[in-house]
Amino acid sequence: MSQDLPVTGYAILGLLTFGDELTGYEVKQRADMTLRFYWVAPAMSQVYTELRRLTDHGLVRGSTSADGGREVTTYAITEAGQRALRTWMDATPAGFPVLKHTVLLRLLVGHATEPDHTRRMLRDYLADLDTALADLTHVRDALRGADAPGEPFRFPSIVADWGLDYFAAEQRHTRRALDSLSEHGTAPEVGPPTA
């Protein structure tokens, strides 16, 4: 039954493993605060589609209550959901990540445009990296105190640290690419990267 789930379904199951019941909106907020740094955060409609699918499979249960005159449904992972997630984690290889790097794709064919456009793209990417680093630093700081071994946010804190290192490395590579593009727009030298 759980084989019918897309990876997003397992991601949502994982977001429900921290001991709290969440509304669909709260699942989306949690996804935006976590998944967006290393995976595609699902759209609101996709969150509700997956929650329905997970509920139909008995992997999540919904509880409806009244809140200020309107019905609110919260979701929690079931024992079957815990087992399905564990089976997916234990029996399915993670696979090698597919890098879809739009900046690198454009840099690859940078000769097809003006050098100033390529440099501007790289500077814009540096600004985006600054924002991502600031956002992820905020998330990482919020995990402090619950990130020790045995604590519920131990693994999310490791992912946040990994993400911070990744964004810092991206900054270094982007600056190196900018440095290699002279103001006269010559192509970067071809050769192995330096450490």
DSSP state at residue 151: S
Please write the tens of the pLDDT for every residue from 43-63.
Answer: 999 999 999 999 999 999 999
Place of tokens 């809140």: 67
Q: How many other C-beta atoms lie within 10 A of the C-beta of residue 31?
A: 22
Please write the tens of the pLDDT for every residue from 100-146.
Answer: 999 999 999 999 999 999 999 999 999 999 999 999 999 999 999 99
Q: What residue segments make up the domains of the chain, in order of their start?
A: 2-91, 102-180
| Whether the Cβ atoms of residue 158 and residue 103 lie closer than 8 Å to each other | no
The pLDDT mean for the chain works out to 91
> What is the per-residue pLDDT for 184?
53
Please write the tens of the pLDDT for every residue from 164-181.
Answer: 999 999 999 999 999 999
Q: Does domain 2-91 have CATH number 1.10.10.10?
A: yes
